[in-house]
Chain A
Amino acid sequence: MFRVKYFEAIRTAAVIIIALVIAFLVISLVSDHPVKTIGIFLWEPLSTKGHIGNVIEMAIPLMFTGLAVSLLFRANMFNLGAEGIFYFSGVVTTVLAIHLSLNSWLHPLVAILAGSIVGALLSAIPGILKAKWNANELVTSLMFNNILFGVGLYLLNYHLRDAKAFANVSFKFEKTAQLSKLFTGTRIHTGLIIVLVLIVLAHLFLYRTKWGYELRMTGVNREFARYSGMKTAKVIIMVHLIAGFIAGMGGSVEVLGMYSRFQWTSLPGYGMDGALVAMLAKNNPLSVIVSALFLAYIRIGADMMARLSDVPSEMISIIQAVIILLISAEQFLKFWKNRMLLKEAKEA
């Protein structure tokens, strides 16, 4: 079984390579200087301290949402509500960041916790609907995204908007609320530490505690979990609370770490990206770190490419589409796995 064991990892690597090769082919067709453009795409994100900083900054929110979605997927809940919660928790945090006056230690703590708790409570609604009445969590969570975006935008327009600014943005946050930077010359903020701690905690929770065990068993076979005496409805509500808490914290941290005013007038997309991160990570908390960094790396690469060459950054959508398509295509490379199995069976 040893080589078969690595099959999933090998398959993921093959998917990424194929996606990159397709990207290069498209670049070759579009660009006047394909070699130079590919060089920019691959190398620029790592070329300077500032650019590496950009990659990590972008990876932070992806890790938050990727972790939240991983836990939901683990429980076999196809819930994509991280998007709306990420946004709305950002709004909640904005209110506190503007109106509270506390010292620089307590202020972000209170603002982030408030955003996280609101996220958890909002997330529980599709959870309860699923657990009690078996309402499809994909449908309810997607509708919730729209509701939360609408309400959030209303708050921004009518209650938080700074009329003196020349754009649709909120008042400035209190200086005390903003997260401090970790490294000079980059915008990497303390949110990185928060998310890494959270990922380790989630790993321990999932694989080492009885609650994590209940979550995993419910995800693999809910009927079995129920039969064994687990209260699966509670488990489902619990995972929604936790995932909402993490996604909400992601939105709060992003707002306080990267901006001095709230300025999202459309959904930022991190929640949906979280689903992609979770898929690449095979729903493993620790792997979320790597897959979020990878996604951030190709995003920044595409941005650099758009700025420095003649290929637009929308290019990246092709890579993402190919990755999602091939990862979710279960039959992809199956023939190869079958051949490996046959070989191993003969040796045994």
Chain B
Amino acid sequence: MANALLEMRGITKVYPNGVVANKDVEFSLREGEIHAIAGENGAGKSTLMKIMFGMESPSEGELYIRGEQVKLQSPQDAIDRGIGMVHQHFMLVPSFTVAENMVLGMEPRKGVGFNVGEAVRLTEATARKYNLAVNAKAKVEDLSVGMKQKVEILKALVRGAKILILDEPTAVLTPQETEELFRELQQLKEQGHTIVFISHKLKEVKAICDRITIMRGGRSEGVFETREVTEQEISRLMVGRDVVLKYDKSTIPHGKPVLTVDRLNVSDSQGKALLSEISFSVREGQIVGIAGVEGNGQTQLIEALTGGLRGVTGSGSVRVKGEEIRELDILDIRNLGVSYIPEDRMRQGSAGEASIADNLISTRYRQKDMNKGPFLHGSKIAALASALVEEFKVRCSGPQQPIGMLSGGNMQKVVVARECSTNPQLLIAEQPTRGVDIGAAQFIHQKLLELRSGNCATLLVSADLNEILELSDSLLVMYEGQIVAYFDHPSAVSEEELGLYMLGINRQDKEQTGRAVNHV
């Protein structure tokens, strides 16, 4: 291919823990296009990009830039060759200003010192050149997520990037911010930049990309002109089957309240309010969703419900089945029938080096039927583990395989299997499908709905608007530690409308949000 700006041939990558992330992948990039890489999580998109950016070296395969074979030893090599990357989790120093972050590692000097004026001038010049408005003197920690992303893009551009790799750039953005990002990307394209856009959101891929490379299971499924394929075709290639984005939810009567939060206030050690006047309830057979931009008190709310509130200053009450849980420890709360799917499956949700079976029994190994005299009941545990692995379709070599060797989606299935199989009366699900492929996400959604049919009360906290609108019976929106909106028919709410509440532009009155307590 004569006009290929960048080409990857026969890329195979095996990680030291045995995970095969890429298998014989071909990829080629034309100058001046926006090229999407779509695929479920664990399909190998991120790995391929890390190889392109010199962060990982491939086990096998070659990389060509303008027809010349290159070996990238480090991100610096990639930057020198005009490749820039915007990571999913921003690589910025929060306590530095925008200008300081921009010139990090290439600081302009004045004698032996750092030339602040020049850094600001450079930042402003670059921002003007690319028409990306930022405040060079603002501290990064004070910026919104969308702004931080702009800084990341500028950071790559100021280093001379002609090829920009964006890893799931819209995952943390509101619909409004996403639109703005797309306008900026179009502009960059017109100025001659080439953009690689990693995503598993098909609408966005269709909206902005010229070509699309689809990945599945570490292999490339082919390259397509975006306008020639439909969303259905793309998703079929990604998952290997048709995807239904709607769920059939039976209407079931909601029973007694299981979780009742009454005028909960929590503040941090400096006295800054993290949660104020939070009141709501979750009833049997009801899924209550909480939407909101990350960092608006959801984390603290969940901590309060799962035993993290001991010794924290605050007022109000949190009751599960009528029992106050504020001073209970995690074990006592779990014994009340509370299950919890944590946001971070690596840090909290699993023990990486331990086997799948060991991970599955961590909340029930104390139970009488799991023990025989002083010993754990080995055969019973093995049977339980095999049954759960089968029921939850965990792809693995067996229950004795270390969980750390599984892909993200399968690991999450193990976590969900553990939490859903103990007959919970209250399930707290925090980002249950983050970073999980569509197939696994659908499976997890089905399980949540099954529990709902079994009269389990569910509190669902998620940044995935599609998920939360589709699954919830009632929906709360959180902004700066407060409940700013309540909807009793979430499926009738549009993502744009929700976005206005999430950004704090709109808010409902007290009477409206107060309905979260009795759902009438």
Contact = CB atoms under 8 A, between A and B. Distances in A.
Nearest to B17: A341
A181 interface: no
B358 A217 contact: yes
B366 A210 contact: yes
Contacts of B60: 342
Contact of A220 (B18, B352, B363): B352
Contact of A210 (B59, B334, B365): B365
Nearest to A345: B20
B354 A216 contact: yes
A226 interface: yes
Given A223-B347, A229-B330, A213 B14 contact: no
A228 B362 contact: yes
Given A213-B358, A342-B12, A345-B14, A220 B376 contact: no
Given A210-B371, A334-B16, A342-B12, A224 B350 contact: yes
A342 B362 contact: no
Given A227-B342, A228-B363, A208 B376 contact: yes
A218 to B, nearest CB: 9
A4 interface: yes
A224 B363 contact: no
A229 B351 contact: no
A344 B426 CA distance: 44
A265 interface: no
Contacts of A228: 330, 362-363
B397 interface: yes
Contacts of B401: 1
Nearest to B361: A213
B331 interface: yes
A229 B353 contact: no
Interface of A is mostly: helix
A221 B358 contact: no
A316 interface: no
B515 interface: no
A334 B18 CA distance: 12
A223 B371 contact: no
Contact of B331 (A208, A210, A231, A338): A231
B105 interface: no
Given A1-B18, A208-B376, A209-B376, A229 B358 contact: no
A307 B361 CA distance: 56
A210 B376 contact: yes
A227 B376 contact: no
Interface string B322-351: 000000011100110000101000011111
Interface string B370-383: 11001110100000
B351 A341 contact: no
B397 to A, nearest CB: 7
B87 interface: no
A225 to B, nearest CB: 7
Nearest to A214: B365
A224 B59 contact: no
A347 to B, nearest CB: 11
A204 interface: yes
B23 interface: yes
A337 interface: yes
A299 to B, nearest CB: 32
6 contacts: A209-B375, A224-B347, A224-B351, A228-B330, A342-B12, A342-B14
Given A217-B362, A220-B351, A221-B350, 11 more contacts: A1-B397, A217-B358, A220-B354, A221-B352, A224-B349, A227-B330, A227-B340, A230-B362, A344-B18, A345-B20, A346-B12
Interchain residue pairs A-B with the least CB separation, the first 6: A229-B331, A228-B362, A220-B351, A221-B351, A345-B20, A227-B348
